Amino acid sequence: MNNDVGIYGIGTYLPDQIRSNDWWSPEVVAQWFKRPEGKLDRPAASDEVLSEGAKLVMEAMKKYRDDPFKGARERRVMPDGMVTSEMEVRAAEEAIERAGVDRSQIDFVLTMTTLPDYLVTPNACAVHGALGLSRNCYTLQVEGGCSAFLMQLQLAAQMIGGGASRLGLLVQSSGTSRLLLPNHPHSAWFGDGATAVVVGAVGRGFGLQAATYEIDGRYVDGLVCGIPGGRWWDQGRIHAYVERQDLTRQLLVTHIHESQRVARSVITAAGWEREQVEFFAAHQGFAWFREATQGHIGITQARFVDTFPWAGSLLGANIPLVLATAERDGLLREGDRVLSFGVAAGATMAASAIRWGGRQ
């Protein structure tokens, strides 16, 4: 792994419209406990044999068992008429400004868009055009879901560390309010927003020190977007739903159980000890996810930020939003050892070890 590619600046964009929990009627909320999607945190059956990971998941979710919103209080929602590329461009403009770079020097753009403006035509092209980047700038849509940022970071490290590029722009967005049916329990768990990260060369010993990415395709039929009982191109409204309920809880158990092995392998590869990790940037898929994985990995001394309660899950934008919030709140400092861990439908897991700062 190249160890001289790091983060220059992070930009964020959250729509002004805030959707609080009282947006859902009491009648709709009361029905959530009766739907399969609302029973992920049900107590284990008396004869159910639980693995270590399953026990951790059950214990973590217990705190929110009686909360229909599962720890979410607010989330941001795009106004009518807005498309996700608009959010991505605003986040990118702020990232470029914070990085203090000339946009003409950006050599590549990697985007992850949950809700693209169009099918087939990637949002990377829309972002490139709106920013007025060089015609030689390489653009690519990275379909990584919630793991996208960590995937993008690995790709960027190869492109910059290998000498092919100097500066890269990594963009992530969530437009899930357009993909959720309001009578479904998980409609309260997600929000809209975008993040962008400018990356480039940093001093030796800083930047991305180690990274890993794993996939288990057995879980591909978990959370999906399409037409239930058909395919997304069939007649009907495309929306998010769980294709196979039996996989959902099993997937959560697997992610928590494997977080220890995956994250510790990255810490070791970076040449760190667990006690040296100073900040933990965790995926914000659930209110309890960061606490459960941080404890299981064994880095409880690390500082952290939880954005889920006030932003919901922003999918691939979760970890950049955590990093941006921490930096602006003074919780992330020059030289800090940062561990990131994320999971995504599909199912994938990714982790990275970053030495913060070091820009020359």
**Above pLDDT 70, what percent of the chain?**
95
Reply yes or no on whether the pLDDT at 1 is more than 50: no
Q: What was the pLDDT predicted at 238?
A: 87
Residue 193, strand partner residues = 174
Tens digits of per-residue pLDDT, 292-318?
A: 999 999 999 999 999 999 999 999 999
Reply yes or no on whether the pLDDT at 40 is more than 90: no
Cite the beta strand spans of the chain per DSSP E: 5-13, 18-20, 74-76, 106-113, 138-141, 167-175, 192-201, 207-215, 223-226, 239-242, 279-282, 303-304, 337-344, 348-355
204: left (phi over 0), alpha (psi -120 to 50) or beta: beta
Residues of the chain with CATH 3.40.47.10: 5-16+76-207, 53-64+208-355
On whether the CB atoms of residues 83 and 117 are closer than 8 A, the answer is: yes
Q: How confident is the model at residue 94 (pLDDT cuts 50, 70, 90)?
A: very high
Reply yes or no on whether the pLDDT at 333 is more than 70: yes
On whether the CB atoms of residues 169 and 95 are closer than 8 A, the answer is: yes
Q: What was the pLDDT predicted at 46?
A: 55
The better pLDDT of the pair 158, 49 is held by 158
The better pLDDT of the pair 53, 134 is held by 134
The rounded mean pLDDT for the chain is 91
On whether the CB atoms of residues 224 and 145 are closer than 8 A, the answer is: no
47-51, 155-159, 209-213, 235-239: least confident range: 47-51
Q: How confident is the model at residue 239 (pLDDT cuts 50, 70, 90)?
A: confident
Q: What was the pLDDT predicted at 338?
A: 98
Q: What was the pLDDT predicted at 201?
A: 96
Cite the beta strand spans of 256-344 per DSSP E: 279-282, 303-304, 337-344
Q: What was the pLDDT predicted at 132?
A: 97
Reply yes or no on whether the pLDDT at 42 is more than 70: no
Q: What was the pLDDT predicted at 294?
A: 95
Q: What was the pLDDT predicted at 56?
A: 82
What 8-state DSSP symbol labels residue 221? T
Q: What was the pLDDT predicted at 36?
A: 65
Architecture of the domain made up of 5-16+76-207: 3-Layer(aba) Sandwich (3.40)
DSSP-derived pairing of the beta strands 279-282 and 167-175: unpaired
103: left (phi over 0), alpha (psi -120 to 50) or beta: alpha
Reply yes or no on whether the pLDDT at 44 is more than 60: no
Q: What was the pLDDT predicted at 41?
A: 60
Q: What was the pLDDT predicted at 2?
A: 46
The better pLDDT of the pair 283, 1 is held by 283
Q: How confident is the model at residue 346 (pLDDT cuts 50, 70, 90)?
A: confident
The mean pLDDT value for 160-189 works out to 93
Q: How confident is the model at residue 353 (pLDDT cuts 50, 70, 90)?
A: very high
Tens digits of per-residue pLDDT, 103-160?
A: 999 999 999 998 999 988 899 999 999 999 999 999 999 888 889 999 999 999 999 9
CATH class of 53-64+208-355: alpha beta
The better pLDDT of the pair 32, 168 is held by 168
Q: What was the pLDDT predicted at 323?
A: 98
